[in-house]
């Protein structure tokens, strides 16, 4: 019983640490794959392992993020609409 009580106290006081990851500057990304069916946008470089995925529940936020990318990525960035298979 005492072990369960101690475990319960530890669980109640446990906090999930926040991790901040730093990615490449926006200018380093030159490819964007837009998967409208799954509401997913993948921003990457020529090597698709260097990038990140953004998934959305609503099309409104999806479109806002896509418009944002057009403003921060280099004008040479290629936007491709297709199903993501990453």
Structure tokens at 14: 């446990």
Within a domain: residue 21? no
CA 21 to chain centre: 11
pLDDT single digits (tens) 43-76: 998 876 778 899 999 999 999 999 999 999 999 9
Total number of domains constituting the chain: 1
In a domain, 4, yes or no: no
pTM: 0.70
For residue 3, being part of any structural domain is answered with no
Domain membership of residue 24 (yes or no) is no
User: What does the alpha-carbon distance between residue 62 and residue 67 come to, in Å, rounded to a whole number?
Assistant: 9
In a domain, 9, yes or no: no
What is residue 57's predicted lDDT score, i.e. its pLDDT?
95
- The domain in which residue 59 lies consists of 32-86
Residues for the chain: how many in total? 86
């Amino acid at each position: 019983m005492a072990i369960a009580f101690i475990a319960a106290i530890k669980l109640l006081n446990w906090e999930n640490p926040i991790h901040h990851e730093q990615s490449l500057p926006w200018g380093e990304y030159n490819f964007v794959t837009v998967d409208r069916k799954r509401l997913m946008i993948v921003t990457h470089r020529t090597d698709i392992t260097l990038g990140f995925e953004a998934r959305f529940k609503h099309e409104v936020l999806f479109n806002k993020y896509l418009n944002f990318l057009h403003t921060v990525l280099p004008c040479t960035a290629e936007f491709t609409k297709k199903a993501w298979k990453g």
